[in-house]
Amino acid sequence: MRRPSRSSTAAPAFAPSARSQVPPFTVMSILGRVAELRAAGHDVVSLCAGEPGGGAPPAVDAAAAAVHASGRALTYTPALGLPELRAAVAGHYRRWYGLDVRPEQVAITTGSSGAFMLGFLAAFSPGDRVLLPRPGYPAYRNILTALGVEVVDVDVDAGTRYQPTVAHLEAALAEGPVAGLVLASPANPTGTMVSAGELAELARWCEERGVRLVSDEIYHGIVHTDGQGPGACAWRTSRTALVVSSFSKYWGMPGWRL
């Protein structure tokens, strides 16, 4: 009796995991298509991604060039980032917000998406219910869904400038336990903000009920606030909040994350 040859053996069928069955982030699909068209010689104006066009500050470009010219190897960094960078970020929070942030309270990630992934992993367990204002940034949902977290939509409208209120949160809590709230100010895609007082009220509500507040502040500084500062930081009210910021928006460095 002959054994079947290796080439005639059917390859096993591997089914994708249930948590991988999330919709693609459409912006990245469009960016991929833009790259294909440009590679084919087409002149394409891309308006799909929120990114500045001016590039990094000159001092940053000069510092990077000096590192490369020095011949020094770019090696692995500590898991939470270079100590000097974490200290600089802490200093940034003192200058912009008047907050006392210690370097050990800062973690550096490969872009804010990496921060959301790690932050959600640390804060939530599979089956937890997390509130997302709708309309809102779609990638929150993708990441939470892939982690087995139940996304609870909080429908907001022009009456509250497309931002959630305590009344919204109370209504959601009445329907079941709530583990978290993801809040963006300025919001994506609406661009609206919560005031310092509104953010403090939401943060207090979360703390009093054991709800983890995840505050997306990556658009701070790109605002029209009549000289009132870059935006309100959740840490002014709640040190249990997870604050996510980014170099890619205000500092013009979206391609530096790797």
DSSP state, 218?
T
> What does the pLDDT average to over 110-131?
95
What confidence score (pLDDT) does residue 125 get?
97
Mean pLDDT rounded to a whole number for the chain: 90
Model confidence pLDDT, tens digit, residues 35-84:
999 999 999 988 877 777 788 999 999 999 999 899 887 888 899 999 99
What confidence score (pLDDT) does residue 48 get?
79
Phi then psi for 90, rounded to 5 degrees?
A: -60, -40
**pLDDT band at 25, cuts 50/70/90?**
confident
What confidence score (pLDDT) does residue 227 get?
58
- Starting at the earlier edge strand, list the strands of the sheet with 150-155: 150-155, 129-134, 180-184, 212-216, 242-244
Amino acid at 90: A
Give percent above pLDDT 70 in the chain.
94
Residue 252 has pLDDT above 80, yes or no: yes
Question: At CA 192, angle to CA 44 and CA 157, rounded to 5?
Answer: 105
> What does the pLDDT average to over 136-145?
92
> What does the pLDDT average to over 135-146?
92
Range picked from 15-19, 21-25, 60-64 for highest mean pLDDT: 60-64
> What does the pLDDT average to over 177-190?
95
**pLDDT band at 8, cuts 50/70/90?**
low
The C-alpha atoms of residue 243 and residue 19 are separated, in whole angstroms, by 26
Q: Which of 100-109, 130-139, 195-204, 245-254 has the lowest mean pLDDT?
A: 245-254
What confidence score (pLDDT) does residue 71 get?
84
Q: What is the pTM of this model?
A: 0.86
Q: Which of 52-66, 150-164, 183-197, 231-245 has the lowest mean pLDDT?
A: 52-66
**CATH placement of domain 124-252:** 3.40.640.10
Domain ranges of the chain: 124-252
What confidence score (pLDDT) does residue 241 get?
97
CA atoms within 13 Å, Cβ hemisphere of 154: 26
